[in-house]
Amino acid sequence: MTDRSNDETIGITRRETLHGGAVASLALATPPAPAAAQLPAPARLPAHAREFGLQLATSINGEPVSVAIDARSSLLDVLREGLGLTGAKKGCDHGQCGACTVHLDGRRVASCLTLAAKADGREIVTIEGIADGETLHPMQQAFIDHDALQCGYCTPGQIMAAIACVKEGHASSREEIREYMSGNICRCGAYVGIVAAIEQASTKMRRA
């Protein structure tokens, strides 16, 4: 067994860079998820990971990001554990539930099945990047209007998939929405609301 101390191996981690000072509010407050503009400066990998290290240059929610990653990392784990973008969720880690859905060059992908390295030079959009300041994306507003959620865990993935579903032209009828949204499981069973929300938002998105 090893029992290496933190200090010998890693110095400061990206998480510390990102979340320094957040600990006092841990028990009570909900610190806002960092916007892309607040993403940390490129940090160096922990020493042990350098043998697997890669430098990833990508764009996340419209902001250029350069970050050292472990070549084994999924895009989901880099977003969540490396960059503090925890909107995309891990529900299965096997591409079976859709909770981790993000957009890669405008296409919906299961970020848990996407190697982070594959995002190099490409554009990533996550749930944190679709609202315009305080103004919600029409799909977000529609999810509120139709209560298209319960626990909210699958919701970011549902919304990202729903936006793509509309843009792909797969929201022309309820039947088509149901079919093209069946990669995103909602265990709470808010499907009726999700379909109604996509119907509402697709009309608004087409007008926009």
Partner 1 sequence: MSIERNPDRPRIDAREKVLGKAQFAADRPVPGLLHAMTVPAAIAKGDITAIDVERAAGVPGVVRVFTWRDFADIRETPATRGGGGDKPGYQPMKRPSVRHRGEPVALVVAETLEAAIEGAEAVSVRYRPSSFTASREQPGAEREPVTVDHRAGDAPAAFAAATSKLDVTYLHPQQHHNPIEMISTTAAFVDGKIVVMEGTQNSAAFKFGIAGMLGQDPQSFESSSPYVGGGFGQKNQLQQQSALVVRAAMLLKRPVKLVMPRSQLFHTATYRPLSRHRVQVGAGADGKFEAVLYDIEQQNSRFDQFGAAAGEHVSRMYATPNWRSTNQRVRVDVQAPAHQRAPQEHPSSYATECAYDELAYALGVDPLELRVRNDTQHDPITGKPFTSRNLAECLRRGAARFGWDRRKKEPGSMRTRDGMLVGFGVGAGAYKASMSPAVAKLRVNADGSSRLAITGHEFGQGMRSAVAAELINVLDIDPNRLEIALGDTSVAPQHITVGSWGCASSAPAARAAAELLRSKLVELVGAGRAKGPVASAIARARRPFLEVEVSQAGLEQPATVFQRLNSGMPAPVGPEYKQFTAFSWIAHFAEVHVEPSTCRVRVPRVVSVCDCGRVLNHRTAQNQVRGGVVWAFGAALRESAEIDARFGRILNNDLADYVLPVNADIGEIDVELLDVPDTNLNISGAKGIGEVAMVGATAAIVNAVYHATGKRVRHVPIRIEDLL
Residues 115-144 that bind partner 1 (CB under 8 A): 126-128, 131, 136, 140-141, 143-144
Write out the binding residues for partner 1, residues 142-171 only, by CB under 8 A.
143-145, 147, 149-156, 159
Q: Please count the other Cβ atoms lying within 10 Å of the Cβ belonging to residue 170.
A: 16
> Which CB, 65 or 83, lies closer to partner 1?
83
What's 74's DSSP letter?
B
Q: Is 86 in the site for partner 1 (CB under 8 A)?
A: yes
Q: Is 173 in the site for partner 1 (CB under 8 A)?
A: no
Among 57, 68, 92, 113, binds partner 1 (CB under 8 A): 92
Residues contacting partner 1: total by CB under 8 A: 85
Q: Is 4 in the site for partner 1 (CB under 8 A)?
A: yes
Q: Is 193 in the site for partner 1 (CB under 8 A)?
A: yes
Q: Please count the other Cβ atoms lying within 10 Å of the Cβ belonging to residue 122.
A: 13
Helices (H), 42-173: 75-77, 138-145, 155-167
Long-range contacts (CB closer than 8 Å, 24 or more residues apart) made by 13-17: 13/43, 13/46, 14/40, 14/43, 14/67, 14/82, 14/83, 15/81, 15/82, 15/84, 17/41, 17/43
> Which CB, 81 or 123, lies closer to partner 1?
81
> Which CB, 175 or 208, lies closer to partner 1?
175
CB 151 to partner 1: min, Å: 3
CB 57 within 8 A of CB 68: no
Bridge partner residues of 109 (DSSP): 102
Q: Is 185 in the site for partner 1 (CB under 8 A)?
A: yes
